Amino acid sequence: MKKIVMKFGGTSVATGENIRHVANLIADHAGEDCRVVVVVSALDGVTDQLIQVAEEAKKRKSEYIRDFKQKILARHLSAADEAIEDKQVKEEVEQVLKARVDELEQVLKGIGYVSELTPKTRDTVLSFGEKLSAPIVSGVLKDIGLKSQYLTGGEAGIVTDSNYGEAGLLMNVTKYQVKKKIEPQLKEGAIPVITGFIATTQDGETTTLGRGGSDYTATIMGAALAADEVWIWTDVDGLMTSDPKIVPSAKTISKLAFEEATELTIFGAKAMHPRALEPARNENIPVRIRNVFDPKNPGTLISKNHEVKTKDGVKAVTLVNNVAVITVSGAGMVGAPGTAAKVFDVLGRENINILMISQSVSESNISLVIQRSLLERAVSTLDIHLLGRDFIREVEPEDDVCVVAVLGAGMKGMPGVASRIFTAVAKEGINVRMIAQGSSELNVSFVVKETDGEETVRAIHKEFKLDKK
């Protein structure tokens, strides 16, 4: 008997019609030989609305809360009405929705009374998005004749620490509890519908999983239940060789190693957060990214390294915009141990994250790539703390740049990849300003003028024939 965890994102469950479609997809796969565990996000846009209403509630805007309550209830009721035919099932779902929205209203009023929104309360508010979507999805499954039960992440057994807003998982406790709670349901042939993104502490307080959200819940469930695969249903075909807006011939990548997927998602592929891949990677459970609106497409399969052919070399090329370069230079830096540490320390204290670093062996300058919005702050803090201290003579910012990242596990130990990349770039007459490659050789990143960014990506995409694979 196979076990598959299926996660459906916000757009997949945006309307009643979509939810009906999702339920049919689940029905296509669920059966005697394949058990399905469903993880759902909030209806598209609801989480953002909850974030906003939580802030407004703090200002005691009771009218705003009342309006919001009506609006959110109406949206979920109409989704349920559209998706569920059976009268009794529909009524049951409506009862649950009404009760939960009432509960939400109480929480929001409470925030208004104390004019305070703690991270803990905020998590409680945010949890309602999924708490409202799961009963609908579960109801629709019942409506089409399947056995189903909706659960919150906490009810399903996911336990975290009390770091509200970005709670840390207690993986072993979670595994133990999830098995105990979900396996009996699977045996009975029921389909558990679990709220993504939310969990509880050991004391039963609601927490949220932060970055990675519902995808994370899905891989946690997959790891805990030793699932055969985790399917992330989304609104794109999978991870692509490049951004199709830049390279119209970009293709879906059929297979990727976890390491590659991690790199790719860090560099802006919005399909999945790298953190969400961790549980699956640790337990070696393949993750498949599929398009809910094109279920015939096999999507992208992310699995353990050795199962993916490594001869392919380069797999993808991405463009990272909104970055800036800072070059710190001075002859005094040569052979002065600790210079780099001081630079990083100064930036670290200002909470400035460094995306890319390069220093030549002459040591007379260090170039850093940071987020562009932080450029002025970074320059100022370097000026104040280090400029004029003998070793650093200049701090030069450049904000008309972008980073191109070329990645693929196959580049490792394969001579000539870098040469092909830079020859392709040079042929376009584009100047490379800064290069970095980690010794893992999973990716080569380099900086070019912002205006040359898209051209560079296209040139590399073409050179490695990524559109032909």
Partner 1 sequence: MRIILVGWGVVGQGFAQILLRRKMELVKDYGFRPRIVAVVDKEGAIIDPKGLDLEQMLSLKAEKGTISTKSKNGCLGRSALDVMESMEAEALVEVTPTNIKDGEPALSHIKTAFKTGKHVVTTNKGPLALALPALTELADYNNVQLRFSGTVGAGTPVLEFAKKCLVGDSILSIQGILNGTTNYILSEMDEKHISFQEALKDAQKLGYAEANPTMDVDGLDAAAKLVIMANWIMHKKVTLKDVKIKGIRDVTPEDLEDAAAKGSTIKLVGSIEENLKVEPTQISRHDPMAVGGALNAVTFVSEFAGEQTIIGRGAGGLETASAILRDLLDIKENIASKMIA
- Closer Cβ to partner 1, 309 or 389, answer by number: 389
- Cα separation, 392 vs 383, in Å, equals 9
HEC states along 45-94?
Answer: CHHHHHHHHHHHHHCCCHHHHHHHHHHHHHHHHHHHHHHCCCHHHHHHHH
Residue in 380, 431, 440, 451 binding partner 1, rule: CB under 8 A: 380
- Closer of 39 and 375 to partner 1 (Cβ): 375
Q: Which is nearer to partner 1, 85 or 383 (CB)?
A: 383
- Measured between alpha carbons, how far is 233 from 441 in angstroms, rounded to an integer? 30
The CA-atom distances, in angstroms, between 119 and each of 64, 122, 164 are 21, 5, 6
Q: How big is the site for partner 1, counted in residues (CB under 8 A)?
A: 16
Contacts of 110 (CB under 8 A, 6+ apart): 121
Q: What is residue 131's three-state secondary structure?
A: helix
* Contact range with partner 1 by CB under 8 A, out of 55-63, 253-261, 303-311, 383-391: 383-391
Residues 347 to 376 in contact with partner 1, rule: CB under 8 A: 349, 376
Output 109 or 377, the one with its CB closest to partner 1.
377
Residue among 383, 416, 427, 465 that touches partner 1 (CB under 8 A): 383
Restricted to residues 395-454, the positions that interact with partner 1 (CB under 8 A) are 395
Q: Which lies closer to partner 1 via its Cβ, residue 386 or residue 417?
A: 386
Residue list 66-105, contact with partner 1 (CB under 8 A): none
DSSP letter at 270 equals T
Q: Show the tokens assigned to 352.
A: 């400035």
Q: Which stretch binds partner 1 (CB under 8 A): 189-197, 255-263, 378-386, 441-449?
A: 378-386
Residues in 314-353 at the binding interface with partner 1, rule: CB under 8 A: 342, 345-346, 349
What letter does residue 124 receive in the DSSP assignment? H
From the list 134, 126, 136, 165, the residue with the least C-alpha distance to 46 is: 126
Taking the least distance from each CB to partner 1, the nearer of 5 and 392 is 392
DSSP one-letter string for 374-409: GHHHHHHHHHHHHBTSSSB-EEEEEEEEEEEEEE-G
**Rounded to whole angstroms, how far apart are CA atoms 366 and 379?**
14
Work out how close the CB of 230 gets to partner 1 at its nearest, in angstroms, rounded to a whole number.
42
Q: What is the DSSP string of 147-165?
A: -EEEE-TTTTT-BB-S-TT
- With respect to partner 1, which residue has the nearer C-beta, 29 or 385? 385
| Least gap, CB of 37 to partner 1 (angstroms) | 47
Identify the residue among 71, 389, 427, 469 touching partner 1 (CB under 8 A).
389
Least distance to partner 1, CB of residue 360, Å: 23
Contact residues for partner 1 (CB under 8 A)?
342, 345-346, 349, 376-377, 380, 383-389, 392, 395
